[in-house]
Amino acid sequence: MAASFNEIIENFGFLDDWEDRYRYLIELGKDLPLLAESEMTEETRVKGCASQVWVVTSIDRSGVAPVLHFRGQSDAHIVKGLVALTLALYSGRTATDILALDALDLFRRIGLAEHLTPQRSNGVRSMVERIRRDARDLLAEEAGA
């Protein structure tokens, strides 16, 4: 079972240096469930990432408000950890909740943003924007229904 975002942030707080935090990110990435080869398509690939990143979105419509769930994968170890961190933050939330969250601000507050290369920061922004786009699309679909 993947760690929740709050658990991950708490664990980050216990780690004193960034070497340890990078190792922790890599471990988070190793816990991501693998995507099927058929799910790693051009449609699910996140554009704007230097590494290959795929995010698969599913929608649970069984409750009062639909809930988005995300699964993802990358071909790079640290990026895979960033995928795990981002999905822990956003997966299992409504579209409105997703749009209200500022992942980049949260990443800055834990000091993550300043320790990422510009390429990785751009990749995280692209992944967040893709998730937010899926949330906006769901809201638009619900409004038109």
Active site residues: 49
Which one, of 34, 46, 65, lies nearest residue 124 by Cα? 46
Which one, of 62, 66, 55, 41, lies nearest residue 137 by Cα? 66
Block residue for tokens 């924007």: 129
Q: Locate 28 and state its tokens.
A: 């988070």
Q: Locate 36 and state its tokens.
A: 């099927």
Query: How far is residue 54's CA from residue 118's CA, in Å, rounded to a whole number?
Result: 20
